[in-house]
Structure formats: C-alpha cells, structure tokens
Chains A and B, each alone.
Chain A
C-alpha cells in the first residue's frame, strides 16, 4: 500500500540537506560553485515554504507520512498554521543571512567556504525539520542536528569564541539530554512517540509521577536551549564572539524555534490546563520571563560592546516571547508568537548591522560610533528602524506585539507583568537610544574620541559595505515595518486559527 501525499513538506527539509551533502564533492571539483548552489537551495526551500503556507491557509493542516507508514508506527510531519508561519520565517531569515554571509565570512574562514556552507545548509534543514516534525524523538534528532551545526559555526569567531563555543556545547548537550530524558519518561508510561498519539494517551495519565517529572525536565531542557533567564549562561559569549553573520542567524532562529517547540508541546501535546493547574509551569515561566526582561535590559545598558549588548537584549526579548506563552490566554499567545516573528526580523537585522559596522570600520565599541550616520547612512537607518521596533514604537511590529502582550497580561489580571513590560521597554529605549545618539553625533568634537581598538576577528578591511550585505539588512528592516503595518494579516491568517483550544480566550 503506498499512499502518495504532495511532497512539499518533506522537500523543504531535504533540499538543503541533500545540497549540503553534495557541496563537499562539488567543492573538490570547483570551489566557486559552492556559494551559488547553496543560495539556490535556500531560495528553493523558501519558495516551497510559500507554496506550503498557501496550501495550509486554503485547506488547513497538512500531513506527511515518512515511508508511507501512518503514525504512531512511522514518523509523520504535521504542518498547521503555526508551523507554516515558522517555516516561512525560518527559510526567509536563513536565505537573507546566507546572501549576507558571503562577503563577511570570506575573511573569517578564508578557504573553508565548502564546509561552512555545508554546515550552514544543514542548520537550515535542521530548523525546518524541527518545526514540521510531529514525532517527539524525531524532534530530538533535528534538535541535535541544529545544535551541532551551531556549535561549529559559533567557534569560527576566533579569539575567545572557541571557549564560548565549548561552554555552548556543554550546556546545549545538557539541554538536549534533559529533552531525551523527558521523551524516555513519557515513553515509559505511554509507549508512543507520536505527538497526536501522546495527546490522546496523556490526559488519563496526568497524575502519574513519570509524566509530571518528564514534563518538568522537558521545560528545563527547552529553556536551556532557549536561554531563558536562569539558564542563559552560554548566550552572551556565543552571540558576541561568533562571526556577525552567524550571530544574526543563530539569534534570529534557534532560540525562536526552541520557544516554538515549548509552545507546541505545552499546548498541543499536553492540554493547557495541565500546565496551568496540575503543574504551575505557566506561572514559573511568566516570572522567569519577567526577570529575564528586566535583567537582560539592565545588563544590556551596562555593555559598551555592540554585539554583547545585542546578546543581552536577546535574553530580554526571549523573556517577552516566553511571557506570551506563560500568560496562557488568547491575547498573550498571540502577542508571544507575533513577538517571536518580530524579534527574529529585528535581532538578525541588528546583528547584520553590527557586522557591517565592523566590516567597514572595525569598531565594536558604541562610544566609537561617532559620525557613523554620515559615513554609513543606510546601515544606521536600518539600525534605527530595528531599534524603534525593539522599543515598540507604533509603525513597527514590536509595538503591536507588546500591545497584545499587555492586553494578555491585563486579561489575566497580572498587573505586575504589565508593569514589567513597560519598564523593560523603557530600559530598551535606554540602551538603544544611547547607540543612536552616538551614531548621529557629528564628528566635530573628536578630541574626546576614544582609541579605536581593532576588532579581534579581523573582520574589517575599510571598504564600504557591499550591496550583498546591505540589501539583506534593508529587506529585514523594511520587514520590521511591514510586520507592523500588516500584523492584522499575520494574526488573522496564521496565529488566530492556531490558538490552542484549551486557552481561555
């Protein structure tokens, strides 16, 4: 019996995967072909994501059974509205950062282009697989594929990047091991690995210790992967020491996918009531998110190095997303997912800007960004737009996601959390406005211009930022604004139909 389902869902995952397998052989034969082939694999994956998104909007969730075996015996892909939105977001950001990475990586990794793009494509396919799989163990395999390629890409930064990459390996493996442990615990009492099957079997087992402890370790493991507040030790070092293109990719995708996995398992495999009443997971997550939002912003203000500041602000923004999930109501969930999409655009664009500044001037210290608005007008414009988005000013998407978060907090009568959101936005205004002020300051008073130390990565070579680096930045920046203007479309088409049933409206 062979059933034939349309192959779009699986092609999104295997096209970059197979291309990454072909690249080493292609590299041996003709090195110059590697980048174009990698790019067309990524764009093909993005195109397929568009086709799939349209089909999901028209006909609802799409299923795909690997090897023709229906679940729970075989592995299945289940792509609903939320997964379609994530696929679009991931393939788009990976494509843009891929275009950007050509110029900025050629200094980092002089003749290692072949393994670099091979690992890059595997990361892209791991992310798409992570989002579309409906099998708990298959999700672990894709989680490891994604993490392994992240470890390698982070270590390219040179200087102290190797040390932060090793810490990332240790903490990342602890997170993945806790996830595997939770799959083992759930398997020991249910006997199944498929998410839909688990969702059917679990409600009768909510009282069993194995399920309670299994779910607790799942949340700890995924929070580690997401760098949620108490477990964020690896993030500042990894983001700030990695090459800028890699930081942009990782900041824009991996933590977001971990947040998506948290939401999917918490609300679609387990019933929302389980993580609200049986285990106080949502309250714990909300408070961890609140502390992350405040602490992350405060630490970001204290930084003078731009990439380290953006790394700490990522910890704060992850707090917003997890707050959306922790509020556990319709508004909060919408705000959380919308902020997930907005932050992916904003943070990857900001890291690309940081890379462009280092590329042209070699400066990383904020105080040395004087007069940057005249020497690099487009880059600073992109930075300013994304900064407005992070703060949450009206035209940008950041404003709308914060509005929904606040509405969600009001629905749940969490007045303290409303205050935390506002305070955190003001803190964000603090550290981002400081950077903009330096950028737009005239270079006249250069007597107090600090010594400009050369960037350790040696990324800079003084030429102006090439178009292949500028255009992805501007597309992402305009994306931040478009998300703001058309957030209604994103919500009504993708997020509303995906709101979990159990959540109170």
Chain B
C-alpha cells in the first residue's frame, strides 16, 4: 500500500470532482449537450436518413468517419496481436 500513489490518486480524484461541480445536473433537459448539437440528430434523422434508430443514424452517417476509424482500430488490434504472438523468432 504505497502512499505516494494513494496521494496522487486522491488528488486527481479531488481535482476531477471539483471540475464536475459546474456540470449540469444529470438528466437536466436544458443542459448544453441536450440543447446544442443533438436536437438536429433527434428531429431530422428520420426524414434525412429514413432510419428509426437515431444512434445508428449518427453512428453510421452523421459521424460515419469516426466509425471507420473504430473499425480500423479493431483491424489494428487483430494485426497487432498477430504481429506480437506469431513472431517465430526463437528467443535466446
């Protein structure tokens, strides 16, 4: 139980909590995320993309490039594991 890490961790936690004091209350319909960008996703996604599931509409269409990056991350993970584990260089 080394105390240095404990002190660092609790300081970080305190800093994080102080930061979250100014945040809107959970579930507040007037909070910035609920008012600024997402209303367009909710109101227009059905007529623009004819897809009832708004999350899929945002995931694949509005922010489709994120999901391409995500699929690339999965692909990189598979290639990385292949690279790490299948190197047949005999260890000394």
- Do A and B come into direct contact in the complex, CB within 8 Å? yes
0/1 interface trace, chain A 380-421, chain B, CB 8 Å (1 if under): 000000000000000000000000000000000000000000
0/1 interface trace, chain A 426-440, chain B, CB 8 Å (1 if under): 000000000000000
Is B29 in the interface zone, CB < 8 Å from A?
A: no
0/1 interface trace, chain A 104-118, chain B, CB 8 Å (1 if under): 000011111001101
**Docked pose: A126 CA to B92 CA in angstroms:** 34
What is the interface size of chain B, counting residues whose CB is below 8 A from a CB of the partner?
Answer: 44
Select from chain B the residue with minimum beta-carbon distance to A122: B76
- B1 CB, min distance to chain A CBs, angstroms: 20
- B52 CB, min distance to chain A CBs, angstroms: 19
What is the interface size of chain A, counting residues whose CB is below 8 A from a CB of the partner?
Answer: 61
- Interchain CB contact under 8 A, A73 and B62: yes
- Interchain CB contact under 8 A, A192 and B80: no
Select from chain A the residue with minimum beta-carbon distance to B69: A141
- A490 CB, min distance to chain B CBs, angstroms: 30
Select from chain B the residue with minimum beta-carbon distance to A72: B37
Select from chain A the residue with minimum beta-carbon distance to B58: A73
Select from chain A the residue with minimum beta-carbon distance to B17: A213
- Residues of chain B within 8 A of A108, CB atoms compared: 89
Q: Is the interface of A mostly helix, strand, loop or mixed?
A: helix
Is A209 in the interface zone, CB < 8 Å from B?
A: yes
**Docked pose: A115 CA to B75 CA in angstroms:** 11
- Interchain CB contact under 8 A, A191 and B36: yes
- Residues of chain B within 8 A of A217, CB atoms compared: 16
- Residues of chain A within 8 A of B89, CB atoms compared: 108-110, 158, 458
- A231 CB, min distance to chain B CBs, angstroms: 12
Across the interface, A456 reaches (CB within 8 A) one of B41, B63, B82, B92, namely: B92
- Interchain CB contact under 8 A, B72 and A122: yes
- B26 CB, min distance to chain A CBs, angstroms: 10
Given contacts A66-B65, A142-B69, contact A156 B80 (CB under 8 A): no
- A169 CB, min distance to chain B CBs, angstroms: 10
21 contacts between A and B (CB under 8 A): A24-B79, A67-B62, A72-B37, A73-B37, A73-B40, A74-B63, A110-B88, A111-B88, A141-B70, A145-B69, A152-B84, A153-B83, A188-B32, A189-B23, A190-B32, A191-B31, A191-B38, A192-B37, A209-B22, A210-B22, A213-B15
- Give the A-binding residues of B (Cβ under 8 A): 15-16, 18-24, 31-38, 40-41, 61-66, 69-70, 72-73, 75-77, 79-84, 86-89, 91-92
Q: Which 4 A-B pairs have the closest CB atoms?
A: A213-B19, A191-B36, A152-B80, A191-B32
